[in-house]
Amino acid sequence: DAIADLSVSMYVSGLSAARMDAALTDEQPSINDDDRRGVLAESSLAVLLEERAAYRQRVDEAAARVAAATEEIDGVTQGLQAAVEARPAAVSDEAATGTTVAAERVAYEEARALATVEGVDFTLVALDAYRQAAVSMAFEQPACGVQWWAVAGISRVEGHHGTYGGSTVALGGDTTKRIIGIQLNGTNQTAVIGDSDGGALDGDPVFDRAVGPMQFIPQTWTRFAADGNGDGVASPFNLYDATLAAARYLCTSSHGLADDPGLRSAYFSYNHSEHYVSSVLGHARAYQRAVQLAAR
């Protein structure tokens, strides 16, 4: 058994078989625990030395990779420095003036949006408000058929596209001045409409007054209030909001608003006056033709 243990140990370790040979030729072999421990110790040492050599090789390889990477980084850094030094002065100037250029671009876009559209008497912001209202109604009430120029006609007669009384329309659609109509007390060919909002919108706690660029009576605004510019606030003094509310009002009054009969019915509901209807319709159709010609 002892010889068998020694034989297996030496085979596994790959060591010299001299001791095995001596044990086999000895008439009375003496293989004890010390012999086995000696063989195992030699085997363990050999494995340890082998692993140490492999570890040293891996360390050397890693060190070589680090050196190569360091050399590559140095090359890239030198290349970058050379590129920076060779960069044209114009590029540096452009970077330095980037803020100024951006500010001028913003100013240009603002001026463009607030400029009057060719062929009509309202700004690009106003045109956008009218178009947005028509698009919204195409989703809300497809059968209505209200067009942008239909609400533009009302805006022209009611509040001169938000410019009545020296007001102007800002980029977001707010009028710079609150457009408020006369007191609806029965005089000046007006109906008698008592206060409905405590003066919250029109500032009059006795009688109602039409408010905003589309001239909504406070109680009517409460019913049709809209947030046309998506800022979370529905205000009759914002052209986007007021235009969408007016479009909703027209669609509630009549359908087929791409044709004159439907428009006349809707306009008459907005203001019970045939003269008013004819005036609004005339402006609306004129805007339609003007923008069509400009598009060509």
What's the pLDDT tens digit per position in 2-32? 667 777 777 777 666 666 666 666 655 555 6
pTM here is 0.64
Q: Among all chains, which residue has been given the structure tokens 């457009």?
A: 179
The answer, yes or no, to whether residue 125 has pLDDT greater than 60, is: yes
pLDDT at 195 over 80: yes
> In sequence order, which residues have a C-beta less than 8 Å from that of residue 17 and are 6 or more positions away?
10
Please report the pLDDT score of residue 15 as a whole number: 66
Q: Is the dihedral of CA 292, 243, 209, 204 positive or negative?
A: negative
Residue with tokens 């590559």: 72
pLDDT at 41 over 80: no
User: Residue 203 — very low, low, confident or very high, per pLDDT cuts 50/70/90?
Assistant: very high
Residue 255: count of CB within 10 angstroms of its CB: 17
What tokens does 296 get?
């060509």
Burial class (CB in 10 A: 0-12, 13-18, 19+), 129: buried
Q: Given the structure tokens 């078989």, which residue do they identify?
A: 17
Predicted pLDDT of residue 92: 66
Is the pLDDT at 119 greater than 60? The verdict is yes
Q: What angle do CA 33, 38, 39 make, to 5 degrees?
A: 100
pLDDT for residue 216: 95
- How far apart are alpha carbons 81 and 84 in whole angstroms? 5
Q: What is the pLDDT of residues 204-244, one digit of tens each?
A: 999 999 999 999 999 999 999 999 999 999 999 999 999 99
Between 107 and 131, residue with greater pLDDT: 131
**How large is the average pLDDT for residues 36-53?**
70
Q: What is the residue whose two structure tokens read 């363990």?
A: 44
